[in-house]
A and B are shown apart, each in its own frame.
Chain A
Amino acid sequence: MTEASGRQGDDPPEGRTPAAPRGSGPLLDVRDLVVHHGQLRALSGISLTVYPGEVYALIGANGAGKSTLLRTIAGLHRPTSGSVSYEGRDVTGLRPEKRAAAGIVMVPEGRRLFPSLSLEENLKVGASYARKGPWNIERVYELFPWMKERRAQQTAQMSGGEQQSVAIGRALVANPRVLLLDELSLGLAPVIVQRIYAMLPQVLSSGITVLLVEQDVSQALRVATHLQCLLEGRSMLEGTPAEVTRAQVEAAYFGADVASGEHPPETPPLADGSNALWPGSTPSSRAC
């Protein structure tokens, strides 16, 4: 099955309520993106449109193609076909460093800090080709106050959550217009994830638009203004968190045909009685 089926993301965003005034055009426009890793087709025609001020969440299971999509938008993968437009300009062929300098900055999966550099040097590298804007190293120290005292330390000695914060800081000092966050929660305890996501309001209020990838669906729904669910390189569901039901998300996540209205399969329960998609979540914690 290679044709894209069950997609709902191709239509213009009717009923979409962008956070910014309606008059502004899309910041990021991805059209029919097909990406191969060698022989393997990782993305089969994904489209998405991100408006200024949004928090756009890409959710999906392992191997759904979320990270590939984000990396392609950042310029690290060349798509087989399809296009990526930024601020109305086609950037499909632009090198990753040019995109970063233009304002598409990614926090890569696994942090990817520079291990032989100190914390502050990591931030300085991030600021090397920065656009003009509100963020600088001092402001990152205000956002994460613990950093100032430990700025001379090598990041390899830091905890996963601290490293993730440094990676976010390194991206912020470049003054992105759109910040791509790849699996911030990966390998981190839930309480640490909460603490890291606490920086999001300040990032958004500085005018940065966020496109994020999350495996932790409840976390994604908590912060997102718009979401798209991927499965095996295809789009399964798109909408605002208010529009989609929990059953729809579960179906899209695990692969039932949502469009046909077929009953979604039981989600496998975890040993502690919570379930795979909503670990420990309560309905109120998912309210956006």
Chain B
Amino acid sequence: MAWVNAIVQGLLTGGLYALFACGLSLLFGVMKVVNLAHGDLATVAGYIGVGIIAVTRVPVLWSIPIVVVLMAVLGYVLQRSLIQAAITRGELTTLIVTFGLSIIIENGLQQFFTANSRGLGVGDSFITSSFSIGSQVVIAWFNLAIFVLAVVVLLALQQFMTRSRYGRLIRAVADDREAAQLSGADYRHVFGIAAAIAFGTVAIAGICDGMITTISPTIGTDTILLFAFASVVIGGLGSLWGTLLGGVVLGVAQAIGAQINPAWEQLAGYLVFLLVLVIRPQGLTSRGAAA
């Protein structure tokens, strides 16, 4: 039963990983930008949440929409200015620019918030309450809520991409930038919208992370970015459900590893990641890389 519990816990964690990863996947799929600052953006969102709650005293859950909107606007502006300028200069430049952004964010956060870790307290009753199935499977309501939130966000994103006008334009621009221009679409604006969505989703993930555990200035690169990359690679690029699957596989692998030996949690995750790279480099979902 302890194993079942480990798998269930890993599955729930996987939802959060998928939430971290979907923005990374979107940015790469649409504009071929490997955003090395993606994890740090999650951290920034968490700290913005901390700041907003400290200053305005809004309830923690209320801070989510505020932070998401702020991060989405930041995403659009950053895309239209810095990242677009990098894209114009070539793909390698985007790598250097986002790497630089990552360093600036981490050091900026350490400067203003110190290296101490912080959490976003949700209120003890909710975060600690749980229910059990059988004798050993204990599910925290809060973890379950975050998993459900992740699925809902991915579902909404999927619907947006397939049904809405801008979702269609994002896919069109990802396919053929120039042909989209000939249809009247300013691809830079469409890129900006894609970036706004990516920043918005990673903001949700960052705040959730801050509520489940704690955040510190360096976790963005140390863990979040790596987990997001692993989820994207395991699941396969260009598919949102693949990203969810990748996150869940990573989460379950980590949980099982930890069950064997607490020191093997991360190792087990990366072993599965390497295994997928060797056996199925296109990822578990067979759609392959986005065009």
Identify A76's interface contact among B175, B176, B181, B186, CB under 8 A.
B181
Q: In the complex, what residues of A have CB within 8 A of residue B168's CB?
A: 117, 121, 124-125, 128
Tell me the interface secondary structure of chain B in the complex. Answer: helix
Q: In the complex, what residues of B have CB within 8 A of residue A174's CB?
A: 183-184
Do residues B171 and A129 form an inter-chain contact, with CB atoms below 8 A? no
Annotate B154-181 by CB proximity to A: 1 below 8 A, 0 otherwise.
0000000000010011011011101111
Q: In the complex, what residues of A have CB within 8 A of residue B178's CB?
A: 76, 96, 108, 112
B182 within 8 A of A: yes
- State how many angstroms separate the Cβ of A50 from the closest Cβ of chain B: 18
Q: In the complex, what residues of A have CB within 8 A of residue B165's CB?
A: 124, 128
**Which one, A22-30, A97-105, A199-207, A247-255, is touching chain B?**
A97-105
B291 within 8 A of A: yes
A10-67 with Cβ < 8 A to chain B: none
- State how many angstroms separate the Cβ of A24 from the closest Cβ of chain B: 25
Do residues B175 and A117 form an inter-chain contact, with CB atoms below 8 A? yes
Residue of A nearest to B166 (CB): A128
Do residues B174 and A116 form an inter-chain contact, with CB atoms below 8 A? yes
Q: In the complex, what residues of A have CB within 8 A of residue B140's CB?
A: none
**Number of residues on chain A facing chain B (CB within 8 A):** 28
- State how many angstroms separate the Cβ of B52 from the closest Cβ of chain A: 36
B97 within 8 A of A: no
Contacts A117-B171, A117-B172 hold; do A128 and B186 have CB atoms under 8 A apart? no
Do residues A101 and B176 form an inter-chain contact, with CB atoms below 8 A? no
CA distance A275 to B187 in the complex (A): 44
Do residues B175 and A95 form an inter-chain contact, with CB atoms below 8 A? no
Do residues B186 and A97 form an inter-chain contact, with CB atoms below 8 A? yes
A88 within 8 A of B: no
Annotate A86-129 by CB proximity to B: 1 below 8 A, 0 otherwise.
00000000011100110001101000111111000110111011
- State how many angstroms separate the Cβ of B237 from the closest Cβ of chain A: 13
Q: In the complex, what residues of B have CB within 8 A of residue A106's CB?
A: 182
Which of B169, B182, B291: most chain A CB closer than 10 A?
A: B182
A177 within 8 A of B: no
Contacts A116-B171, A117-B171 hold; do A129 and B179 have CB atoms under 8 A apart? no
- State how many angstroms separate the Cβ of A110 from the closest Cβ of chain B: 10
Which of A75, A106, A125: most chain B CB closer than 10 A?
A: A125
B149 within 8 A of A: no
Interface range for B: 20 to 34
A210 within 8 A of B: no
A120-150 with Cβ < 8 A to chain B: 121-122, 124-126, 128-130
B185 within 8 A of A: yes
B176-215 with Cβ < 8 A to chain A: 176, 178-187
Contacts A117-B171, A117-B172 hold; do A128 and B185 have CB atoms under 8 A apart? yes
Do residues A170 and B183 form an inter-chain contact, with CB atoms below 8 A? yes
Which of B168, B183, B185, B290: most chain A CB closer than 10 A?
A: B183
Q: In the complex, what residues of B have CB within 8 A of residue A117's CB?
A: 168, 171-172, 175
Q: In the complex, what residues of A have CB within 8 A of residue B180's CB?
A: 114, 125
Do residues A114 and B184 form an inter-chain contact, with CB atoms below 8 A? no
Q: In the complex, what residues of B have CB within 8 A of residue A236's CB?
A: none
Do residues B185 and A114 form an inter-chain contact, with CB atoms below 8 A? no
A74 within 8 A of B: yes
Q: In the complex, what residues of A have CB within 8 A of residue B186's CB?
A: 95, 97
Residue of B nearest to A111 (CB): B179
Do residues B174 and A129 form an inter-chain contact, with CB atoms below 8 A? no
Q: In the complex, what residues of A have CB within 8 A of residue B171's CB?
A: 114, 116-117, 121
- State how many angstroms separate the Cβ of A138 from the closest Cβ of chain B: 18
Residue of A nearest to B187 (CB): A97
Do residues B182 and A114 form an inter-chain contact, with CB atoms below 8 A? no
Contacts A116-B291, A121-B168 hold; do A101 and B184 have CB atoms under 8 A apart? yes
Residues of A within 8 A of B (CB): 74-76, 95-97, 100-101, 105-106, 108, 112-117, 121-122, 124-126, 128-130, 170-171, 174
Contacts A/B (CB < 8 Å), 22 sampled: A75-B181, A76-B182, A96-B182, A97-B181, A97-B182, A97-B187, A100-B184, A106-B182, A114-B171, A114-B180, A115-B175, A116-B171, A116-B174, A116-B290, A116-B291, A117-B172, A117-B175, A121-B171, A124-B168, A125-B183, A128-B183, A174-B184
Of all A-B residue pairs in the complex, the 8 with the closest CB atoms, nearest first, are A129-B184, A100-B184, A112-B179, A114-B175, A96-B181, A101-B184, A125-B172, A114-B172
Instruction: Other than A97-B182, A128-B165, give 16 A-B pairs with Cβ distance below 8 A.
Output: A74-B182, A95-B186, A97-B181, A97-B183, A97-B185, A100-B182, A100-B183, A105-B182, A113-B176, A114-B176, A116-B174, A125-B183, A128-B183, A129-B183, A129-B185, A130-B184
